With several copies, the nearest count.
Chain A
Amino acid sequence: MGEITSLRDAIADLAFDGATVALEGFTHLIPVAAGQEIIRQGRRDLTLVRMTPDIVYDQMIGAGCARKLVFSWAGNPGVGSLHRFRDAVQNGWPVPLEIEEHSHAGMANRYVAGAAGLPFAVLRGYVGTDLVAQTPNIKPITCPFTGEVLTAVPALNPDVGIVHAQRADRAGNVQMWGITGVHKEVVLASKRSLVTVEEIVDHLDPRPGAVILPHWAITYVAEVPGGAHPSYAMGYSERDNDYYQAWDAISRDRDAFGDWLTSTVMREVRAILGDQA
């Protein structure tokens, strides 16, 4: 529990073909390096879960890792569309992508239910929208006291939950601050989990606004400095806005994306294999 290991070994142990995998991070602390490691390890048929699929999921979808996407907002934030996601949904390239679509409130509450060991969550949401007709995972529920009808969504309990955080100590306790989104919920909701961190330190000095996950609630911790790039890790790095802009052009075209995949993500595979040879 909270075992400190390498990113490669953690992904190799956690991610399997067909797994339900959630990488979370609400604009901040997105575990991009972990997503790219999943690409490198060639995982297939994943059900990818994420409130805000953005660049890292566009990369994973474009690389053919995913069979299904469960989400609430898929876009390149501040820039525009996710072209690999659109290509998969509209044209089935490189493989067809099934989607299950929610609202942010619905997804957040699905993680809350998952973290709380409940089979479902209740919210005021979705009512009157066309989202309801598209999935069996949005249902009415009646208050047993007032008779009011609300909305229920089922818990999310991914096989693997992955987030990025600022720091861990040597016992594997994790500390994060700034916008922490659904970080706690996804780690607690998932059967197994990985937290990549900017830095492993001797002691987690208390910080305003910090959220702590005790080591025994996490499966693996891996030190991956810059592991959230092009998103940011408050106190460690800035958001790389140029990358978000540049991704638009790279991802718009299948060949450009293929070149990018070969020359960046997969080059590291060769480098790694070279190390071992």
Chain B
Amino acid sequence: MMTIAAARALRDGARCFVGIGRPSTAANLARRTHAPDLVLIYESGTIGAKPGTLPLSIGDGVLAETADTVVSVPEIFNYWLQPGRIDVGFLGAAQIDRYGNINTTVIGDDYRSPRVRLPGAGGAPEIAASCREVIVVVKQSPRAFVERVDFVTSVGYGSGPGDRARLGLTGRGPALVITDLGIMEPDPETAELTLTQVHPGVAPAQATAATGWPLAVAGTLSTTPEPTAAELAALRDLNRQAGP
């Protein structure tokens, strides 16, 4: 459901900066359903990749072979991401906080002696800064959804409204946080992540229970439409091709 909801969030024709894992599955699902002209851009430098099978890394051969063009890594960041040419950036997170800030660096208070060392920033800080908007896809739990991230790897709304402008970040920031339970959006006034949608069969209380801060719930809470047969078939197809 999380993958399908993420796929639906992608408008046809949009330029989408895709990370590996669920974002890549969602983007490829979108391209096979409602958004055939979605432009997939991977940080490995592949622009307009049209993989027939799900890539296992962001640098798989199938991405280069099917791309409109392959550019160098400096170029993908400098000429394509940095100036704001990308509509949507897809990010994951180990932790995400009330203001959509993301941690993929360390768990624990001491950076030099972390409780858990995570992979680090990758392309995320600049994706979060420069894409017109960001979609975060992350499984919901109080460990992941925290009041304040241990380390800000990628900036969401900082400490609240106006922070992005103050920091000179050109993109709008996280527009959607899609979880296995529902969807959160930043409150237009407070920039605080607010539950606006739940997936079928999920009670809002489940979402608030799986969140490490008192999660605001929108006045009118919608429910994610059930997956269509076409979506399920396309997703099965993608996963089958990806192999065991």
Contact = CB atoms under 8 A, between A and B. Distances in A.
A26 B57 CA distance: 10
Interface in A11-67: 26-28, 51-52
Contacts of A179: 44-46, 59, 63-64, 70
A220 interface: no
Contacts, number: 199
A248 B168 CA distance: 40
B155 interface: yes
A182 B72 contact: yes
Contacts of A112: 74, 78
A129 interface: yes
A71 interface: yes
B126 A103 contact: yes
Given A77-B20, A104-B123, A179-B63, A128 B83 contact: no
Interface residues on A, range: 35 or more
Interface stretch (B2-10, B146-154, B209-217): B146-154
B77 A109 contact: yes
Contacts of B83: 115-117, 188
Contacts of A216: 13, 15, 39
B202 interface: no
A89 interface: yes
B60 A239 contact: yes
Interface in B75-115: 77-79, 81-85, 105, 111, 113-114
A77 B58 contact: yes
B241 to A, nearest CB: 13
A200 interface: no
Interface in B53-74: 56-61, 63-65, 68-70, 72-74
A73 B85 contact: no
Interface in B20-61: 20-21, 39, 43-48, 56-61
A124 B155 CA distance: 13
B73 to A, nearest CB: 5
B169 interface: yes
Interface in A64-83: 71-75, 77-78, 81-82
A131 interface: yes
A217 interface: yes
Contacts of B120: 71-75, 101
A89 B110 CA distance: 12
B126 A26 contact: no
B79 A184 contact: yes
Nearest to B154: A129
Given A124-B130, A127-B155, A179-B70, A103 B60 contact: no
Interface of B is mostly: loop
Nearest to A73: B122
B122 A129 contact: no
A103 B43 CA distance: 12
B205 interface: no
A129 B74 contact: no
B56 A241 contact: yes
Contacts of B13: 216
Nearest to B81: A105
Interface in A156-213: 173, 178-182, 184-185, 188, 209, 211-212
B63 to A, nearest CB: 7
A173 B120 CA distance: 35
Given A26-B59, A179-B63, A128 B82 contact: no
B44 A28 contact: yes
B64 A234 contact: yes
Contacts of A209: 64, 70
B82 A116 contact: yes
Interface string A99-112: 00111110011011
Among the interface residues B74, B113, B122, B170, which one has the most CB atoms of the partner chain A within 10 A? Answer: B74
13 contacts: A51-B73, A77-B58, A81-B119, A101-B121, A104-B122, A109-B77, A124-B168, A127-B167, A134-B111, A179-B64, A180-B45, A181-B45, A214-B48
Closest 3 CB pairs of A and B: A27-B59, A117-B83, A73-B122
